[in-house]
Amino acid sequence: MILIDGKKVAAELREELKKEVSNLKAKYNKTPGLTVILIGDMAPSQIYVRMKEKAANEVGLKSEVIKYPNEVEEKTVLDKIHELNKDDGVSGILVQLPLPKHIDKQKVIEKILPSKDVDGFHPMNVGNLSSGYDSSVPCTPLGCYLLIKKIEPNLSGKKAVVVGRSNLNGKPMTQLLLKENCTVTITHSKTKDLKEECLKGDIIVAAVGIPEFVRGDWVKKDAIVIDVGINKTEKGIVGDVAFDEVSKVAKALTPVPGGVGPMTIACLLKNTIECFKKSKKN
């Protein structure tokens, strides 16, 4: 079985991006910039933002974190996004989710210019992705896609099963696999005979949020299995796939941690650079 080393693939991607940033700096005499807005003091969000900032600095991006207290007014955040939209030095804007309850997430997402939407959550990018046009793609499914392509460069005609239909993971994942000419089944909590559906997959992507949900006898021999899950349990952090069981049948499988996670951040950097490059074309 191939253990898909997301840490290694992400490190290689970051190395490529570092070179690209250096070339872009030389060409345009400008540095692509990522601005992250962090609201409140939730520990996981703070950790994620710190990791994003560190990774951005390491590849040579200009990075800035704007912090607000939990009780910040929605208007203050929207006004700041408006200001960042107009700022030439800002290539990409990310608002760390989740947001406090009094702030309308969708309003915030829609305020970010689609051309600076490095998370790929703006309805314009969502629409473009599902229409098969050029768009920013959410970082986690983009990372999954790059890992799958490392194992199987030609996905045409493959049967893919996506478990979970969130806007963050399952839906954009489905669109990426469709674009590659996979035949995609998207499943969710109301799906009947989920095991039977999974058994049809040459590729399975699990983004459910339930520890070790996808079992060994749900997986076809030699399938490629991508585990998006990050679940805190008594055993520590585990994925949505029962690793020990599935590793006995799959051709390739991502570990948790060290699989999809590192790719998510590397893809955020990639998206920032793409936004910068597109801004230079227009």
C-beta closer to ligand NAP: residue 62 or 121: 121
C-beta closer to ligand NAP: residue 52 or 165: 165
- Contact (Cβ atoms closer than 8 angstroms) between residue 246 and residue 229: no
Least separation in angstroms between CB 231 and ligand NAP = 5
The answer to whether residue 252 forms part of the interface with ligand NAP (CB under 6 A) is no
The footprint of ligand NAP on this chain (CB under 6 A) covers a number of residues equal to: 26
Instruction: Report which residue type is found at 123.
Output: P
Of positions 125, 140, 185, 271, contacts ligand NAP by CB under 6 A = 140
Return d(Cα 230, Cα 263) in angstroms, integer: 14
Torsion of CA 167, 171, 176, 178, to 10 degrees: -160
**Other CB atoms closer than 10 Å to residue 63's CB: what's the count?**
22
C-beta closer to ligand NAP: residue 201 or 261: 261
Least separation in angstroms between CB 262 and ligand NAP = 8
Q: CA distances (Å), 68 to each of 40, 107, 136, in order?
A: 6, 17, 26
Active site residue 96: yes
User: Which positions from 177 through 196 interact with ligand NAP, judged by CB under 6 A?
Assistant: 187-191, 194
The residue behind tokens 């991607």 is: 13
C-beta closer to ligand NAP: residue 120 or 170: 170
At residue 124, the 3 state secondary structure works out as helix
Query: What token pair was written down for 182?
Result: 């996979």
The answer to whether residue 147 forms part of the interface with ligand NAP (CB under 6 A) is no
Return d(Cα 98, Cα 109) in angstroms, integer: 12
Which segment (15-23, 79-87, 111-119, 161-169) binds ligand NAP by CB under 6 A?
161-169
- Among the listed residues 62, 80, 119, 202, the single catalytic one is 119
Return d(Cα 6, Cα 9) in angstroms, integer: 5
C-beta closer to ligand NAP: residue 91 or 254: 254
C-beta closer to ligand NAP: residue 22 or 237: 237
Least separation in angstroms between CB 28 and ligand NAP = 31
The answer to whether residue 164 forms part of the interface with ligand NAP (CB under 6 A) is yes
Q: Which of 152, 81, 153 is nearest to 110 (CA)?
A: 81
Active site residue 119: yes
Which sign, positive or negative, has the C-alpha torsion 241, 245, 249, 253?
A: positive
Q: Which of 55, 46, 54 is nearest to 10 (CA)?
A: 55
Active site residue 52: yes
The answer to whether residue 229 forms part of the interface with ligand NAP (CB under 6 A) is yes
Return d(Cα 33, Cα 168) in angstroms, integer: 23
The answer to whether residue 198 forms part of the interface with ligand NAP (CB under 6 A) is no
Residues recognised as catalytic: 52, 96, 119
**Which residues of the chain form contacts with ligand NAP (CB under 6 A)?**
140, 163-166, 168-170, 187-191, 194, 207-210, 228-231, 240, 260-261, 264
